[in-house]
Amino acid sequence: MATVLITGATSGIGLALARRYAAQGDRLVLVGRRDPATLDAAFFTPARYCRVDLAAPTCADEIAAWLDAQAIPTLDVLVHNAGLGFVGAIGDQPAADINTLIDVNLRAPVLLTRRLLPRMAAQGRIVFISSLAAVMPTPDYAVYSATKAALDAFAANLRLEMQAQRRPVHVQVIHPGATRTEMHAKSGLPARRSRTGFADPDAVAAAIQRAVARGRRQQTIGAANRLAFHGVKLSGTSVDRLLVRRARQTSPRHIHADDAPHGHALITGAADGIGRALALALARRGYAITGVDVDAVRADAVTADLRALGSDATIIVADLARSDAFDALLDRVAARPPITLLVHNAGISAVGPFAAIDPARQQAVIDVNLRAPLLLTRGLLHAQRLASGGTVVCLASLSHFVGYPGAAVYAATKDGLASYARSLAPALAPDAINVLTVFPGPTRTAHARRYSPDNRREQQRMPPEELAQRIVRAVEQRRTRLIPGAGNRTFAA
């Protein structure tokens, strides 16, 4: 008899999967946020049901405490199934919904995996229920897709780390397609769309159960979904370009930036490293610069440097790890000209054995690297501050191609940002706003120096000034993708 923990177990795929494991005699731990009085009392017994809100930062500790109270020291299967969605225009999604999607779809699996990893039995399985949307550009549910892409990357890098440590724990990712569950109605999808052609949750659960038993690293459920999954993977950027071309045929908003004739760039993480180099390079081209950085001393220094070049420059001191800082930040940005160039550059990392890294630090990585770009983009679109014909730049990472064991959460956030950029491109195409995703390799910055396990080859890393020039040229050429450096392109290939 195996002990199986399933999150999101009160409905849909999670409930169907729970009933199947119960039928074969396994011990169940069912996690959900619903009042037990509304559930089937015979199935959701006090010995099975752990009521926890996965959007809460304490969810992992609460589940661990419940397991202790039930005297469950070991888990054989951990299924991260819980998930939320949102359907609609990117600028229309409430900030609170973005936060909840990130918390439930990404932060909870990260924190819960870290907390429960010591309980996993030898040859135990950690299963992440992702989505076909993780590999596709989806302008109508960009945040959902970004969180699922991030979840995929987290799982892949965690697997590499487990293998390197020779820990006998299997990490699996399963991609269902659209399934008839309550999630779609909650996300805002019209009922008629969620009924047409969507898979039956019990059939999906049966396929997931078989995939878990087989131990496959990755499994897409359904023949049509497998064809779509591999087709998108093999097509490279063809699907993305097609969606952008189609989107350009719809009506634009025409937001002009006449009061910043040479352009206005908003750059996060602008006081040091790549962000500072970009700000200086753009200032020399006549751009007005608005930067955002948490370091007030460096912010003052780079402001003086920018103004010495004749730039209309302001650096806003703000902590992007705090979601409650965005209203004030957006108010400050609103007083500046419309933005012709938005650069999501700010980033932090947490490096080391996954289970040994402070969970507060892991949360901060998610907040700065993924949550902040999504909230800032949403706020700017909602306030109509992105000028037509402009560019959005998202700095992802070469880890998208080569992996980053020892920094699984960092890699997850950067893949999530890259996915978001893919969805953003067709969403902004009607306004002729280009989206450029940059995948930098090792760069000669304090950030790289701080987190690299070996700095002996630091001089071989690309200087931030060179990277900035490459990014500026890519912006001017209206490119959509940049892997800077021949060596990095070789790795990516």
DSSP at 231: H
C-alpha to C-alpha distances, 273 to 25, 270, 287, 443, 448, nearest whole angstrom: 56, 8, 19, 9, 9
Strand duo 264-268 + 288-293: pairing: parallel
* Fold of the 3-240 domain: Rossmann fold (3.40.50)
Q: What is the length of the chain?
A: 493
Cα torsion at 461, 465, 466, 472 (round to 10°)? 140
Q: CATH number of the domain at 246-492, please?
A: 3.40.50.720
> Among 481, 484, 482, which residue's Cα sits nearest to residue 461?
484
What's residue 472's pLDDT? 98
Q: Which residues pair with 434 in a beta bridge?
A: 391
CA dist 219 and 342 (Å) reads: 37
Listed by start position, the domains of the chain span 3-240, 246-492
C-alpha to C-alpha distance for 20 and 202, rounded to whole angstroms:
9
Q: Virtual CA dihedral for 131, 135, 139, 145, nearest 10 degrees? A: 40
**In this structure, are residues 378 and 98 in contact, taking their beta carbons and an 8 Å threshold?**
yes
Tell me if domain 3-240 and domain 246-492 are identical in fold.
Answer: yes
Q: What is the pTM of this model?
A: 0.94
Does residue 187 contact residue 141 with C-beta atoms inside 8 Å? yes
For every one of its 493 residues, what pLDDT tens digit does the chain have, with 9 covering 90 and above?
Answer: 899 999 999 999 999 999 999 999 999 999 999 999 999 999 999 999 999 999 999 999 999 999 999 999 999 999 999 999 999 999 999 999 999 999 999 999 999 999 999 999 999 999 999 999 999 999 999 999 999 999 999 999 999 999 999 999 999 999 998 877 766 666 666 655 555 678 889 899 999 999 999 998 999 998 888 898 888 888 888 889 988 998 888 767 666 666 666 799 999 999 999 999 999 999 999 999 999 999 999 999 999 999 999 999 999 999 999 989 999 999 999 999 999 999 999 999 999 999 999 999 999 999 999 999 999 999 999 999 999 999 999 999 999 998 888 899 999 999 999 999 999 999 999 999 999 999 999 887 776 666 665 666 667 688 999 999 999 999 999 999 999 988 888 888 7
Rg of the chain over CA atoms, in angstroms?
23
Is 410 noted as a catalytic residue in this protein? yes
The residue from 141, 404, 410, 420 that is catalytic is: 410
The DSSP secondary structure of 13-56, one letter per residue, reads: HHHHHHHHHHHTT-EEEEEE-S-GGGS-TTTS-TTTEEE--TTS
How many whole angstroms separate alpha carbon 168 and alpha carbon 214?
15
Structure tokens at 26: 């396994």
Neighbours of 250 (CB within 10 A): 10
How many Å apart are CA 364 and CA 101, to the nearest integer? 16
Query: What stretch of H or E contains 343?
Result: strand 339-344
Give the list of residues 6+ apart from residue 477 with CB closer than 8 angstroms, or none. none
